[in-house]
Structures are given as C-alpha cells and as structure tokens.
Structure 1
C-alpha cells in the first residue's frame, strides 16, 4: 500500500530509534522519508512513481527486485560501507546510480579492532570467565601468554580502515605484514598465513573472497594465530574455524561478524576461545551521526 503525497519519496528501512536528523534535512526540500520494515515484501508494497531513491540497510537488492522498481527510482544508497548485497550490474543496466558511505566511522572501527585484538591477545574473556564462573583467581588461567611486541600482525586488506588500524598498531607489534595494499608493503596470503601471530580481515565480501579462511588456508597457518574478522561473516568458513579452534590451529577468534548473523553456529558459541560482538564495530554516537548526515 503506497502513501499519497505530493512530495517525491525516499524509502529507508526502519533501523534507528528516530529519524529527526533525516527529516530535519529534508524539511525544505521536495523529498520525504518513507519508513519500511526490513523485508522485500514491504519494500514492494511501498513502491510507486513518486519513489526516487532507496536507502538500503539489509534487504538484498537482487536483479529480480531491481526489475520491479519503478522507472522513477534513480538512486540506491547503501547505509554503510559494503554493498555486496546490491546487484550493481543490474542497477547499471537500469540506469540506477549506486552510492555508499565509505568515510564514516573509520576511527571507530579501528578502535574496535584494537580492542578485539588486545582482548584476544591478553585472553581477557578467559580470565573473566575463570573468576566469575569457576571462582578461580589464577594468573595462569589463560595459559601461556606472549608479549604483543613479539608478535607479527597480518592485515588482509589495507583500505581506509585497514590502513588506520595498521597505524594504530605499528608501535605495539614486532612487525606488520599486509596483503592487497596500495600504500604499505604488500605480502602474499601465503606469507601472512605462515608468518603471522595475529591475522585481521579488512576486505569486502565478493565471490572470490568467499570462505577466504577455509580448511586449506588454515592448514597453511604455522603460528596458531589469533583471527579477527570485522568485515563480513562469509569470509570465514565457520565449520573450518570451529575445527581449527578445537585442534589449536587457531588459538583465538575475535569476531564482529559471522556467517548467517544474527543466527550463530551453536558449536562456535560454545567454544572458550571465541569473543563475539554483534556487528557493533561501526557504532559510536559520533559515527552514527556521521553515517546519517
């Protein structure tokens, strides 16, 4: 069911507590915001020739969906960095521009990755659980720990966030190896897998990157690394990760994203050496405002 309005409409999935920022900015324009549920059916129900743009959060924008959009839709904007759920090729065929928001929250994300890294490297969750669940007060509860400045950090993907993260970590680690970087020394994936004590993923999701961390790549890891993922859950084969954590091929996993989120593999949740955050790496009040403005 479409609403009757003389204004052109911008559809957005309803994910924030209010839309005062957006409505204030649109107040003196010929546009108005239309809130929908996070579902394809609700999006289709709100389509009309008055809709000129769609702000996408989580709905997969497939070729089938794009083919049903009215000709009035000229722009699809991804609220965030990754736009892998949008069929870019089909949008181009239909004359629809794709926009996204790559510059917001860079510092916020990098800070969160640093926090995950330190929490994993110092086994803070293990210490906490030992005290709270087992009522033990032992400095040995987390096993043998290594100095951070003796570790080699591998960063796969050095765009804005990866580079910022590297800058933050450079004073604290022995060395940094990077892959697929324009500005820093580039290493092969094989070198990173074989030589790094910590591996952090900062690449977009694509067909070629799907399950980059697999049984095969884990088998190349010689140093039982800490694995960090704040990019997309599909970069890691969850079954392979669970097996690697169980047999010690990977010593710890710190994950802000997982396959199938928010539904998480039950075996993964039960493991001791896993730290999870709920796709929160982007969030501070400052970064949320930057995203919305």
Structure 2
C-alpha cells in the first residue's frame, strides 16, 4: 500500500496498481482511477522501464494493461509478486495465459463492454465499402462531381451472403444487425454453436467461397494468425469484400494489399492493422478501402462502462472478493 497526501495534507492509504501501456490509452479514466488507487506510471519516471519495475517488483500485486502492450510477458517476469492482471481489452493475445495460470495470476478482461460498439463499427465499415460512402464523399469534396458527372454505381446491401468468422459475443451482435439488412448469414468458428441456425463451416476457405463478404470477429491466437491468407482471399473472389474490426494479424496484410491492388477482391473495411500504428502506403492509396484507426471500441459510453469494470475488478481483488469478469483459462487454452 502506498501513502499519498491530499491537498489537505491528510494521509490516505491506496492500493498500488502498476499501469503498463501507452499513457494515451489510460488518460480517458486515469484521473478517476487515481482517486481510488495509487497508480505507478513508468512513463512519468526518468529511469528505464526495467529499473522502474525492479524497484516496485516486491510490492506490485496488480497490473493494469491494454491490448497494445507487446512487452507484458517480459515485464511480468520481473514482477514476482503479481497476482492480478487487468486488461482493458476484449482480446487476450498480449497475455501469456499459460504462464499466468502456472504462476497463479488471475486475469480480468472486458468481454462484453465493447461488443455492441465493435459490431456497429464493423457493420458501418461494411455499409461504407459497399455503398462507397467515404469514396463518394471524397469525390464530391474534391470537386469531381461537376467535372466527371455521376459517381460510379455502388453495391446493394440487401441479400448479400455474409460469412462471419468467430461467432462469439461480437460475432453474434454483428449477425443480429445484418439480419435487418436481409443478409444471408453463415459462420466459421472453433465449434458449431448449438443454439444457432446459421449455416456452419469448419473450413474458412469454404466459408469464403460461399460468401460475398467476410467479417472477422474472432480472437487473435496461434490458430488464427494469418488465418486470412492468399487461399482464403482467392476463395472470396473478385466481387468479395473483407471487414476486420478484430485484430490486424488475423489477415496476411501483404497478401491483402496485393489482392486489392490487382482487383482480385473488391474492397475492404479495416479498423485494425498488422503493424499498428503503421499502415501500408499501398493501402492508403486505394479508394475501395475504408479505414478507422483501431477505434471500434472507443465511444464515450463504452469508456465509462470500461472504467466501471476496471475499478470493479481491482476493488474486488484488493477486497479478496470474486472478480467481475475473470478469464476462465480453460475457455482460451483448448
């Protein structure tokens, strides 16, 4: 427990929480968190990260992190006293779950806070790509309408065959929204969902060959890394569109660039990229690709809900109560 002083010079004891990640991720609720916890923020220290961690190694029992922290596993090796990792993300690809279970480290995540917002953005990207909203907006703003006349025809939304990869919380939310468009939905997942009537495919290529649009909603792990490769894109075909609001590395980005450049698929809507924040220049030059900067999860409302969940998990941990959203290791380590 760390001791701090308020403006009234009163001493209060607050539980220590080590924050690992870019400060921009946590600024949206950092002020409120600091009223409840003593936040250890390496980016405010002049000393190197490893030295900072070694100074706090023995007393740090809780870590708050995010999906963009690639160095989390190496950091945890320097923190022998950690008993909880709270991540502000749905995805868990940045956390070594096997090592956490071996060490008895509990993990809490945000499995449902963002589901509706991510689904909304994924469907929004789909609408934008097919109806060419962003491209038409650019066409108008750059003064091409009076010069070139009518804008090229877009593509109808209704009746499209949409294949969803990963029918978890977000995938189901996407499917629910697509039903309103009259989409013909099918899906691929680790296993068939007993309560779902959509056609199920075990093979992603087979799903792609029977879809006009692929929407990626699965987690990134060893099995899904570059799941969308040349074979899948080839199966999707020249009229096909791919939407990704999950994780960038699920798609072989080099293959995607080539297929888009050569017209081997029709378009893409991308909220995530393989090497964020770097986006291939070749992609940026294409008007049949719609982008957002990994922002699907961020709305004012979702940030408030996330703050409540993060605080709830941390409070539960320091009070020796059950976590609000614990990771069930067996569900992610099959």
TM-score, structure 2 normalization? 0.78
Task: Kindly indicate whether residue 234 of structure 2 is the aligned counterpart of residue 214 of structure 1.
Answer: no
Aligned pairs for 1:55-74 (under 5 A) are 55-57=64-66, 58-61=68-71, 63-71=73-81, 73-74=82-83
Change (3 A) 1:101 1:240: same
**Cα deviation 1:194-233 (Å, max 9, x = unaligned):** 1211110000001111111111211112352111000000
**How far off its partner does 1:236 sit?**
0.9
TM-score, structure 1 normalization? 0.88
Aligned pairs for 1:76-91 (under 5 A) are 76-91=85-100
Aligned pairs for 1:113-192 (under 5 A) are 113-137=122-146, 140-142=150-152, 144-180=153-189, 182=193, 183-184=195-196, 185=198, 186-188=200-202, 189-192=204-207
CA distance in 2, matches of 1:93, 1:38: 32
Task: Kindly indicate whether residue 38 of structure 2 is the aligned counterpart of residue 32 of structure 1.
Answer: yes
**How far off its partner does 1:41 sit?**
4.5
Unaligned runs of 5+ in 1: none
**How far off its partner does 1:4 sit?**
6.9
Q: 2:52 aligns with which of 45, 54, 63?
A: 45
Change (3 A) 1:55 1:152: same
CA distance in 2, matches of 1:43, 1:21: 27
CA distance in 1, matches of 2:65, 2:140: 43
Task: Kindly indicate whether residue 213 of structure 2 is the aligned counterpart of residue 195 of structure 1.
Answer: no
**How far off its partner does 1:283 sit?**
1.2
Aligned-pair RMSD on alpha carbons? 2.4
CA distance in 2, matches of 1:18, 1:116: 28
Change (3 A) 1:286 1:156: same
Unaligned runs of 5+ in 2: 5-12, 309-334
1:241 maps to what in 2?
A: 256
**Cα deviation 1:140-192 (Å, max 9, x = unaligned):** 533x4332113111111111111011001102134111111524232242332
CA contact (8 A) 1:8 1:50 kept: no
Task: Kindly indicate whether residue 270 of structure 2 is the aligned counterpart of residue 255 of structure 1.
Answer: yes
Q: How many residues align?
A: 284
Aligned pairs for 1:3-14 (under 5 A) are 7-12=14-19, 13=21, 14=23
CA distance in 1, matches of 2:44, 2:225: 25
**How far off its partner does 1:275 sit?**
0.8
1:176 alignment partner, SS class: strand
2:300 maps to what in 1?
A: 285
1:21 maps to what in 2?
A: 32
1:228 maps to what in 2?
A: 243
CA contact (8 A) 1:194 1:223 kept: no
CA distance in 2, matches of 1:7, 1:109: 34
**How far off its partner does 1:255 sit?**
0.3
CA contact (8 A) 1:8 1:51 kept: no
1:37 alignment partner, SS class: helix
2:296 alignment partner, SS class: coil
Task: Kindly indicate whether residue 118 of structure 2 is the aligned counterpart of residue 109 of structure 1.
Answer: yes
Bigger shift: 230-239 or 10-19?
A: 10-19
Change (3 A) 1:223 1:108: same
2:318 maps to what in 1?
A: none
CA distance in 2, matches of 1:33, 1:171: 45
